A and B are shown apart, each in its own frame.
Chain A
Amino acid sequence: MAPVAYREAVRSAIADEMEADERVVLMGEDVSQGGVFNVTPGLAERFGDRRVLDTPISELAFTSAAFGAAVRGLKPVVEIMFGDFLGLVVDTLGNQASKYWYLSNEQASVPLTVRSAVGAGASFGPCHSQTPTGLFMAEPGLRLVAPSTPADAYAIMRAAIQDPNPVIVFEHKGLYARKGELDDGGEPGLDRAVLRRAGGDVTIAAALAMVDVALEAAGELAGEGVEADVIDLRTLRPLDGDTIVGSVTRSGRLVVVEEGPPQGGYAAEVVALAVEVAGPLAVRRVTMPDLPIPFAPSLEKDALPGVADVVAAVRALL
């Protein structure tokens, strides 16, 4: 099979689920024309305007409507154009969709998939560059997934749509053009991390575009004789404790790389989980500074975790 881009993998997954299940509908701003990141072109022509819905710029309306439609039997896939706009729908996702299964005493779950483009690196400035996973880390009932390869983007998106619970799929803008084979692995499901590189001296965990940074750092460290496990977390809620603990139990050292501020993110959760289960470990978090994400390319580059930061963090633990 020819390699496909990450954005095409997302599109194929949505198309294949729409083909397989007529309850799946896609909603969002400009989605019939492909949307600003050109993820969904062609779906409206293929499935029609009753299954691919262009919405007003009205995130609360179409996300809450998707929630209500999901309770009534549809399986909506909602595109929130930029992850930064997820703040507009925290009530619907946090107070309604995520709680519905539990609050209703298990009368019904909410098969709602929200997908959103996140991440910095393209100078979109402080309100179009965030990866706001932290907004939802404390929402029982929500699944948060973050694919970093085309194969995962495909498999995780399909699993998210099939899942009976609300799922947020964080797609990284910087990965949309990344190409890869779709059939290079098994079904990842929604709750498994994956070891991208096996070392054993140190564990480096990361998600989305930070996986590349971690892998590059691991390559550099190997030149110094330090072999690293690199974990692609893939799922941020729940975290895959088995994979994380299995690795740190061998290595005794953990560095987590997160494209976000230092407080309240997945890095903190990975560290806490690892220490709690695996006992005393040497740990470091490599994150962005505790600041909004700046616009200027030089400022943004400086704020993003880089290979040198990860290498330095690992060295500090040796």
Chain B
Amino acid sequence: MRVTVETPASVERAELARLYLAMARIRSFEDAVMRAFQSGEIRGTTHLCSGQEAVSVGVCEALGPNDCVAATYRGHGAALALGCDPEALFAEFLGRAGGICGGRGGSMNVIDLEHRLLGCFGIVGGSIGAATGAALAAELTGDGTVAAAFFGDGALNQAYFHECLNFAGVRHLPVVYACENNLYGEWTHMDETTAGGRLAQRAEAYGIPWEIADGNDVLAARESAVRAVERARAGDGPTLIEFLTYRHFGHSRSDPAKYRPREEVDSWLARDPLPRLAERLGEQEAEALRADAEREMSAALERARAQAPAAGARTATAGRMR
């Protein structure tokens, strides 16, 4: 299998701008979420994907209009990349009535079927099962769709990973397993938790092709995902892609990430996917797009703030009434 680390050479300028904006929107969104948490406006916890935007955008860009995604509690990037409304996302995290799930799910449990987001799963590995099932439905109905699962390096030690890759492998399901390897499962380095020290190669045991891609280069990430989606669409079954990436912040709100050596953090910040693409796009244009994204997200947050709090916990039903 291949390891993709080189940026594809010829990409149109407008295309670069589009991809940059997609990532800048996520970065601005996450920055706003962080500020709202720090001010106490958003309660509970959150898991920012700042630094991992290229994976969210790269994979979602590779999918077709009817393909679907299962993401994780670090799923704001995937949600935005799929087209979820930022106001509805902010409103969800603020516990407002107009939240994307009416304030019922919160930051870790976003579901938006209109935008083909089966869910952001709060349990590590849950996304793998859901996407495998969506791919099973595709296989059985022959509808030609593909499903993608996002999950972190930590999920590779969950039963969901091993059982579902076996199941998808044996049935040749049209699914893309997108592992965001950010080196840390919660607060612990993967070297301390992951036997064998290799992630993508685990796919070999299940007869599944794998790739390792630069997850901080949106073009490389997309190219790798496109290959996997094509393989799935052609009936050649699943692919596991390990995206090498890094989260700029701790695991969750309560984690100051003191366990990460300064040099390691600095080396990854130097590979921040936004400045890397800005280099190709031109600093000026990048800055303008970043400002657009900031404005959009600030306005969306303002509108979400203005919404009424969610209500009606005692009048809802847990199941659909027939």
Binding site for B on A (CB under 8 A): 25, 50-51, 55-56, 58, 60-74, 91-92, 95-96, 98-109, 140-141, 143, 163-165
8 tightest Cβ-Cβ pairs between the two chains A and B: A68-B133, A64-B129, A61-B163, A105-B102, A140-B318, A72-B137, A141-B318, A109-B320
Q: Is the CB of A67 within 8 A of B140?
A: no
Q: Which of B56-106 contact A (CB under 8 A)?
A: 68, 70, 99-102, 104-105
Q: Is the CB of B104 within 8 A of A105?
A: yes
Of all chain A residues, the one with the shortest Cβ separation from B126 is A96
B141 at the interface (CB under 8 A from A): yes
B160 at the interface (CB under 8 A from A): yes
Q: Is the CB of B113 within 8 A of A104?
A: yes
- A-B contacts, 29 of them at CB < 8 A, read A56-B163, A58-B163, A60-B159, A61-B129, A63-B129, A65-B136, A65-B164, A65-B167, A68-B70, A68-B131, A68-B136, A70-B133, A72-B133, A72-B137, A74-B136, A91-B123, A95-B122, A96-B121, A96-B126, A96-B130, A103-B109, A103-B119, A104-B101, A104-B104, A104-B119, A105-B99, A105-B105, A105-B111, A143-B319
Contacting residues, chain A, for B136 (C-beta < 8 A): 65-66, 68-69, 74
With contacts A71-B134, A140-B318 taken as known, whether A65 is within 8 angstroms of B166 at the C-beta atoms is no
Contacting residues, chain B, for A140 (C-beta < 8 A): 318
B270 at the interface (CB under 8 A from A): no
CA distance A65 to B170 in the complex (A): 13
Known: A58-B163, A100-B111, A104-B119; 16 extra A-B contacts, CB below 8 A, are: A60-B129, A61-B164, A64-B164, A65-B167, A68-B130, A69-B134, A72-B68, A72-B138, A96-B121, A96-B130, A101-B319, A103-B109, A105-B105, A141-B319, A164-B319, A164-B320
Contacting residues, chain A, for B320 (C-beta < 8 A): 101, 106, 109, 164-165
CA distance A66 to B123 in the complex (A): 17
B147 at the interface (CB under 8 A from A): yes
Q: How many residues of B contact A (CB 8 A)?
A: 46
B191: shortest Cβ distance to chain A, in Å? 26
CA distance A143 to B318 in the complex (A): 10
Of all chain A residues, the one with the shortest Cβ separation from B112 is A107
Of all chain A residues, the one with the shortest Cβ separation from B130 is A68
Q: Is the CB of A73 within 8 A of B141?
A: yes
B157: shortest Cβ distance to chain A, in Å? 14
With contacts A68-B130, A141-B319 taken as known, whether A73 is within 8 angstroms of B137 at the C-beta atoms is yes
Contacting residues, chain B, for A70 (C-beta < 8 A): 133
Q: Which of B130-181 contact A (CB under 8 A)?
A: 130-138, 140-141, 147, 159-160, 163-164, 166-167, 170
B306: shortest Cβ distance to chain A, in Å? 19
Q: Is the CB of A67 within 8 A of B113?
A: no
B322 at the interface (CB under 8 A from A): yes
Q: Is the CB of A68 within 8 A of B101?
A: no
A312: shortest Cβ distance to chain B, in Å? 38
Contacting residues, chain B, for A56 (C-beta < 8 A): 163, 166-167, 170
A94: shortest Cβ distance to chain B, in Å? 10
Q: Is the CB of A65 within 8 A of B133?
A: yes
B122, B129, B130, B133 — most chain A CB neighbours (10 Å): B133
Q: Which of B68, B131, B166 contacts A58 (CB 8 A)?
A: B166
Contacting residues, chain A, for B225 (C-beta < 8 A): none
Q: Is the CB of A66 within 8 A of B133?
A: yes
Q: Is the CB of B159 within 8 A of A104?
A: no
Q: Is the CB of B137 within 8 A of A74?
A: yes
CA distance A15 to B185 in the complex (A): 45
Q: Is the CB of A98 within 8 A of B318?
A: yes
CA distance A60 to B128 in the complex (A): 11
A15: shortest Cβ distance to chain B, in Å? 18
B316 at the interface (CB under 8 A from A): yes
B118 at the interface (CB under 8 A from A): yes
Q: Is the CB of B147 within 8 A of A68?
A: yes
Q: Is the CB of B133 within 8 A of A103?
A: no
Of all chain A residues, the one with the shortest Cβ separation from B111 is A104
CA distance A235 to B275 in the complex (A): 59
Q: Which of B203-217 contact A (CB under 8 A)?
A: none
Contacting residues, chain B, for A69 (C-beta < 8 A): 133-134, 136-137, 140
Q: Is the CB of B130 within 8 A of A67?
A: yes
Q: Is the CB of B318 within 8 A of A95?
A: no
B132, B166, B170 — most chain A CB neighbours (10 Å): B132
Q: Which of B105, B129, B167 contacts A104 (CB 8 A)?
A: B105
With contacts A68-B132, A72-B137, A96-B130 taken as known, whether A62 is within 8 angstroms of B316 at the C-beta atoms is no
A68: shortest Cβ distance to chain B, in Å? 2
CA distance A154 to B38 in the complex (A): 56
Q: Is the CB of B111 within 8 A of A102?
A: no
Contacting residues, chain B, for A51 (C-beta < 8 A): 140
Contacting residues, chain A, for B163 (C-beta < 8 A): 56, 58, 60-61
Contacting residues, chain B, for A67 (C-beta < 8 A): 129-130, 133
Contacting residues, chain A, for B68 (C-beta < 8 A): 72
Q: Is the CB of B160 within 8 A of A68?
A: no
With contacts A74-B137, A96-B121 taken as known, whether A102 is within 8 angstroms of B318 at the C-beta atoms is yes
A93: shortest Cβ distance to chain B, in Å? 11
B304-322 interface code vs A (CB 8 A; 1 in, 0 out): 0000000000001111101
Q: Is the CB of B318 within 8 A of A60?
A: no
CA distance A284 to B170 in the complex (A): 51
